[in-house]
Amino acid sequence: MKLLIYGIDGGDLEIMKIFKDQMPFLMDFIEKNDSIHLEEDLFNRGWVEILTGKNGSETRGFYMAPKLDGTHKFTTSFKLSELDNREDVKYIWELAEANDMPYCVMNVPTTTPVPKKGKGKVIVGSAGGGLNRIEGIPQELVSRDELISFLEKRKYIVDIRIPNEEINSTDGLFEQLSKKETTRTDVFIDLCNQESAKFGFLVNRGNTIVEYLSRFEIESYKEEKVRDKWIWKLLESHFKELDNQIRKLYENLKPEYFIITADHSIVPSQYWANVNPFLVDQGYLFRNNTGGMMTATKKLIKNVLGKKVASGIKKSVSSEIIDSMDKYNWKQSVAFGKTYIPGIFINDSKRFNGPIQSEDDINKLVEEICIRFNSISEEERLNMKAIPYRINLKGRQFSDYLPDIKLTGSEGVFFHEKGDSLFWPNENYGDVPKDLSKVKHAAFTGDKGGNPLCVLSRGCTNHINEKDENNLTLIYKLTERILSIK
Q: Is pTM, for the whole model, over 0.85?
A: yes
**Shared-domain flag, residues 149 and 214:** yes
CA distance 315 to 166: 31
Q: Judge whether 275 lies within some domain.
A: yes
Is residue 262 within 8 Å of 46, Cβ to Cβ? yes
DSSP at 172: H
CA distance 137 to 44: 29
* Cβ atoms of residues 105 and 99 within 8 Å: no
Give the SS3 label for residue 123: strand
Residues 177 and 95 placed together within one structural domain of the fold: yes
* 234 and 158 both lie in a single domain: yes
**26 is a domain residue:** yes
Structural domain includes residue 79: no
Is the same domain home to 100 and 148?
yes
Give yes or no: residues 299 and 200 share one domain: no
Given a cut of 50, the residues of the chain with pLDDT beneath it are 129-134, 318-324
Query: What's the pLDDT score for residue 326?
Result: 84
Regarding whether 424 and 362 lie in a shared domain, the answer is yes
- Give a yes or no: residue 70 inside a domain: no
100 & 158 share domain: yes
Measured distance CA(470)–CA(475) in Å, rounded:
10
Would you say residue 208 lies in a domain?
yes
In a domain, 80, yes or no: no
> Residues 189, 119: one domain?
yes
Which CATH number does the domain housing residue 156 bear? Answer: 3.40.720.10
Residues in Cβ contact with 274 at an 8 Å cutoff, skipping those fewer than 6 apart:
337, 415, 416, 417, 418, 419, 420, 421, 422, 423
Q: Residue 4: CB partners within 8 Å, gap ≥ 6? A: 199, 200, 201, 202, 249, 250, 253, 255, 257, 258, 259
66 preceded by cis ω (within 30°)? Answer: no
Domains in the chain, number: 2
| 60 occurs within a structural domain | no
Instruction: Output the CA–CA distances (angstroms, integers) from residue 55 to 345, 362, 408, 457, in the order listed.
Output: 20, 24, 19, 25
350 shares its domain with 220:
no
- Domain assignment present for residue 83? The answer is no
Q: One-letter amino acid identity for 101? A: M
Same domain, 293 and 424: yes
Cα 105 to Cα 195: distance, rounded to the nearest angstrom: 12
What residues make up the domain containing 389? 271-438
Whether residue 120 is found in the same domain as residue 139: yes
278 and 349 inside one domain: yes
